[in-house]
Amino acid sequence: MLLVLTGITVISVGLLAYMNELTKAPIAEANVKALNEALRNVVPEFTNNPVSECDTIFGEKDGKKTVDFILYPAKNGDQLVGTAVESVSLGFGGELKVLVGFDTEGNIYDYSLLSHSETPGLGSKASDWFKEGNKGNIKGLNPGTKSLTVSKDGGDIDAITASTITSRAFLNAVNKAYATYKGNIDGMTSATQK
């Protein structure tokens, strides 16, 4: 009996490992495709490959190296036209990964919610809530000149109905993305003008 169970376990583990290996490349390819599509939507038109020119900012959590931010420079020829910053914040259901695009003046060009585990129908509305034409519109705003906080906290941005925690987390990710953008833009601009 024990031998049969061991055999079934070994076969199951082998099949799972095989399926994992079989699907690893298509999943990675789909993630790159989704990132490239998001980049096209969040920054002005560009001619370079922002993914190949990205700059990763690392941090440390619990003694382990972590990715805090990824900056994607968007260039038209040699001219920097915008920068997308990948930022993460903790929402109600877990991590929200947001890609925020800034023009060269630091104004929000657009954003894409890359991944989240928020409640369907509530917190998941963050993917559109803060877009142009919606109540929480942040497009065109500059976090350096206008506080991006929800109205419950004294800000001017309408929170998602029944999802204030998600709204705070989303705006936190946007504000952190802006701070990272602002802290790194001078180096990116001078590097592209050399």
First to last CA, the chain: 72
Question: CB-based burial of residue 54 (10 Å sphere; 0-12 exposed, 13-18 middle, 19+ buried)?
Answer: middle
Mean pLDDT of the chain: 91
* b/e sequence 140-177, b meaning 16+ C-beta within 10 Å: ebbbeeeebbbeeeebebbbbeebbbbbbbbbbbbbbb
Residue 102's pLDDT band (boundaries 50, 70, 90)? Answer: very high
pLDDT of residue 88: 94
Coil vs helix vs strand at 180 = helix
Coil vs helix vs strand at 102 = strand
Per-residue pLDDT tens for 146-182?
989 999 999 999 999 888 999 999 999 999 999 999 9
Q: How far apart are CA 142 and CA 148, in angstroms?
A: 9
Q: What is the value of pTM for the model shown?
A: 0.85
Region 116-126 average pLDDT: 86
Beta strands (DSSP E) in 9-135 are 55-61, 64-76, 79-90, 95-103, 108-115
Per-residue pLDDT tens for 30-79?
888 999 999 999 999 999 999 999 999 998 989 999 899 999 999 999 99
Report CA-CA distances (Å) from 28 to 16, 56, 127: 18, 18, 22
